[in-house]
Amino acid sequence: MPAPFQVDVVSPEAVVWSGEAELVIARTTEGDIGIMAEHEPTMAVLATGSASIHTGTETVTVAVHGGFLQIYRNQVTLLSDRAEIVEGNVDEARAMADTLRVAEEEDAADETEGQSE
């Protein structure tokens, strides 16, 4: 059985998910990365997409909108400006599209607000 390690998914608003996992699969700007216990220290830029956290008894899917991934001392941190858990019975593609749509709307609103100042 694989050894567990600590995983935290964090956004500016809250800790989205925290717990022990046996495997994390995330998409970076350089490609997908699989992480198990005792992984080499790594920093990477997260691509917009999903990350899978395998705890041994369940798989948690988290939608992320960019951000950073840090692996250090047997702890993985996914830091994203927007992150949410995708429920198992929800179509992941639809949930991701909704997340991206909201992010784009917020970015457009920020740009419009910046122009009026």
Domain total in the chain: 1
Inter-residue long-range contacts of 109-117, CB under 8 Å, 24+ positions, other chains counted:
none
pTM for this one? 0.78
pLDDT (tens digit, 9 = 90+) per residue, 11-49?
Answer: 999 999 999 999 999 999 999 999 999 999 999 999 988
pLDDT (tens digit, 9 = 90+) per residue, 39-83?
Answer: 999 999 999 888 999 999 999 999 898 899 999 999 999 999 889
CATH (domain of 73): 2.60.15.10
Range of the domain at 45: 5-115
pLDDT reading at 117 higher than 60: no
Neighbours of 36 (CB within 10 A): 15
The burial of 47, by beta-carbon neighbours within 10 Å (0-12 exposed, 13-18 middle, 19 or more buried), is given as middle
